[in-house]
Structure 1
Amino acid sequence: MPRPEQSRSADGRPGGVQAISRAQFAAITKAAERENVQFESEPSDGAPTHVWHKGHILAGADVADYDIAELTTHGAEIVRHLDGSEQRPGRAKLLRLHENETRSAWQVAAYLNNLRGLEGKFSVNNLVHVAHTDGVNFCPADEPFPVRPYPETIPYPPPQSGDGGAGVRVAVIDSGLSPGWDVDHPWLTDGPAEVSGDAEVGTYRPDGRIEAHAGHGTFIAGVVRCVAPAATVHVSNTMRWAGSMLESEVAKAVIEVLDTKPAPDIINLSAGCVPMHTHDGKGAPVSLPMLDVMNRLTRPDCHTLLVTAAGNDGSGPDDVWFFPAEYAGYPEFRDVVVAVGALRQDREGRACFSNYGGWVTVYEDGEKLVNAFPPGPFQYQEPLGGTDCVYHSPSLYDGCSCVTAPQKGTVVRSRGMAEWSGTSFATPVVVGRIAERMSRGRQFLGRPRAAMRDLRRDLIEIEDSGDGVRLPIFPKRVPTG
């Protein structure tokens, strides 16, 4: 059944959403300005809970051409994508508002959604996150903790042997591959199948320290290959603004991957956003570009499976709408998208940071995973450490990532490996499981959705030892080698 109406705070914002820190917002803003993109936010100063594209709105794919023409007379015009390409017909349309428009993009979209016949057809162009600088939100859930290099430290999940994932193509829509990804990480470089990708943008700060958002795509690729060592993996650098990108651009990147020949079997998207409401608040907030992705996935000629993170707000079951993972809770999209929540280290309950609810397909190991990370010095930016969990008081369990993190300002040195937590990293564990199942028998080659349906039969439910919520999980961890 469709998701029920979302609970909302007194000021109209969705409940349970963690604020983006000032430091994160500053880093994102600086990166986006290089491409002439500016933002508006709610609240407008300090640490915002929502960020969107300034001076632009989105019109749904079902908004007729004459409606666009009418908007044009009021100063809204269709613009090109950031790479200069024209927008494709049949998708949500990005419109630039007139430079003399005094209302915010949110106010314009809200006004249009209240016009007869246009209800719910406009939205702001939300910012999608995969990483953060300071202040816990979205993906990942904590900051990386460097560990001894391989082989002194073995990745977790550990590298598998054999041909698991053979013949399976995985696309990772993320931050690219960081420098040093192919040094002393044999699970990423050995074997007949290739790991490739775009170079990560801005891995290091001017002072030589590792940026807070860096290494996300590399870590994810490493997890996939540990679970499915023979899978082919390609990592894009779509999320190039300090681990973030506009919703319209992320949807474009996913659809372009789906349009390649041959298309990948599985897309790993360890990212998402909580859209800002731009209508009367009834039902779900609008996520027009992600709806385009869902409609593309459900075309008869499409066989790709989208596996995406459930988000790290520590909220649920109806306190937060995190897209595109939310679409796994809609019956019409259940077969094309998998939403992955995170288990804590002992697998006896969900990790404190994981979003949860009936829309989450499966929960997988997501706390203190170990994999490849850029080498160099890293300074902790988050105000964590101490005795209080960021998400729950009292803590759901002892030893969660929130209360074991180093204090802000601590500087450590990475030698190419790190421990990291988040639904971001539970997601590639599930991707690896699907790829392994696809390669196990010919009946699943080229059929990732059928492989996932088969895996669903393995799921069991456990009662979360923290608060009694029931969680679908795989009965066993990924094998230890």
Structure 2
Amino acid sequence: AGDEPVPAPATGRPNPAPADGGHDPDTAVGVLVIDTGLMHDYRSYPPLAHTDGDLQIRETDEDGVLQQYVGHGTFIAGLVAAVAPNTDVTVRNTLNDCGAILEDEFGEKLFDAVEQGGWPDILSLSAGTSNGRVDGLLGLDAFLRALRAQRTLLVAAAGNNASATPFWPAAYGSLPEYADAVLSVGALRADGEFGACFSNHGPWVRVYAPGERLTGALTGFAAPVPYVYQHSTYESCRYGFGYACTCRSPRHTGVLSDGSGKPDQVMFEGFASWSGTSFATPLVAGLVAAHMTANKETDPRAAARQLLEKNTAFAEVRGAHVPALRPAGWRPAPVGPS
């Protein structure tokens, strides 16, 4: 992710706010989230009432402190369900080990995930890697070729390296043979004006959506759960931006800091504020699903094309309406020295 999660008030307002509309099992759009597993109390967030899948294998360490990246899949599923209530969201804990996996194993696990429930309408994937190449990942080659033959739309995060280097599998959408099957998503900053400081960018990124300080379900609904920060907030943006970016706010000290003091511990009581292209991605997946429902469209790839052509979708972001989809011709603010 672009930063670490920050507790949000249990009585606060999710961002994006849950959209109007109900769930119809006969017309619900199938969304598969490949990520970490669901937290044990995820159903305490009403939009996740129709979500199913794998539970997180281990949520806390031996001291009862939340492990790094747990809740990532729950947060993503909550964003999909908030934007598109008429969805059947399934979460697979393919990336249960802090999001890390070997490339060849990842390809096999992706096949395992779709074989459990069949190919979904939309596959939301907030993971990937750069490898310095322009032709993809050898370990995902078989899966991407299989995807191309399906009707499934892969919505994939562009990554959080503040780089123009292709990030796979998101960058497959820039290859002609995969352009219809893969939609890459970068992150807008909170004001919607430019790309978030951490967001990857470049001509291979198809769309940008809000991805900074989104607020949604994490864990701790039944009882508060502690979390210790791994990384400190920077004094200035590590990517050279001047706005109040996620590198700088809110202030906290992490356990991996170099002699900067005792790490900060916070308590989660349900909601979190979190940033990353990881979270811009489920917003776009949800927008495509919502478009399918609203227009009785059964082809997710056609729905994505229609959204890109119209480019009129909006989302509520921190109290102001900003474009939720920016076309491929849009460019983020220049990235300064790190």
The TM-score by the shorter chain falls in which range?
0.7 to 0.9
Aligned equivalents of 2:147, 2:135: Cα separation in 1: 21
Determine whether 1:456 maps to 2:312: no
Give, as a single letter, the amino acid of the residue that structure 2 aligns with 1:422: G
Superposition pairs for residues 83-232 of structure 1, below 5 Å? 140-149=1-10, 152-163=11-22, 166-183=27-44, 185-189=45-49, 194-232=50-88
Q: Is the 8 A contact 1:224 1:431 kept in 2?
A: yes
2:173 counterpart of 1:328 = yes
| Partner residue, 2:141 | 291
How many Å separate the matches in 1 of 2:168 and 2:62? 34
Q: Which residue of 2 aligns with 1:467?
A: 334
Contact 1:364–1:429 under 8 Å retained in 2: yes
Larger displacement relative to structure 2 (244-253 or 331-340):
244-253
> Aligned to 1:332, what secondary structure does the other structure show?
helix
Structure 1 residue 463, shift from structure 2 partner? 5.7
- Give the match's secondary structure for 1:249: helix
Residue number in structure 2 paired with 1:74:
none
Measured in 2, the distance between the counterparts of 1:261 and 1:196 equals 11
Give the total of aligned pairs.
305
- Confirm whether residue 412 of structure 1 aligns to residue 261 of structure 2: no
In the TM superposition, 1:240-389 aligns within 5 A as 240-259=96-115, 262-275=118-131, 284=134, 287-299=137-149, 302-316=150-164, 320-375=165-220, 376-386=225-235, 388-389=236-237
Output the CA distance in 1 between the equivalents of 2:36 and 2:116: 20
Which letter does structure 2 place at the counterpart of 1:188? L
Deviations 1:44-89 (A, max 9, x none): xxxxxxxxxxxxxxxxxxxxxxxxxxxxxxxxxxxxxxxxxxxxxx
Question: TM-score, structure 1 length as denominator?
Answer: 0.61
Paired residues of 1:257 and 1:264 also in contact (CA < 8 A): no
CA RMSD in angstroms comes to 1.9
**Match among 280, 284, 288 for residue 434 of structure 1:** 288
User: Which residue of the partner structure matches residue 317 of structure 2?
Assistant: none
Does the aligned pair in 2 maintain the 1:176–1:197 contact within 8 Å?
A: yes
CA gap of 1:261–1:148, structure 2 versus 1, over 3 A, is closer
Aligned AA (2:18)? P
Structure 2: unaligned runs, 5 residues or longer: 255-262, 312-325
- Equivalent AA in structure 2 for residue 186 of structure 1: P
TM-score (norm: length of structure 2): 0.85
Unaligned runs of 5+ in 1: 1-139, 278-282, 469-481
Closer/same/farther in 2, CA of residues 348 and 414 from structure 1, 3 Å limit: same
Q: Residues 39-54 of structure 1: matches in 2 within 5 Å?
A: none
Decide whether the 8 Å contact of 2:75 with 2:217 is kept in 1.
yes
Q: More relative contact order in 1 or in 2 (CA 8 Å, sep 6+)?
A: 2
Q: Secondary structure at the match of 1:233?
A: strand
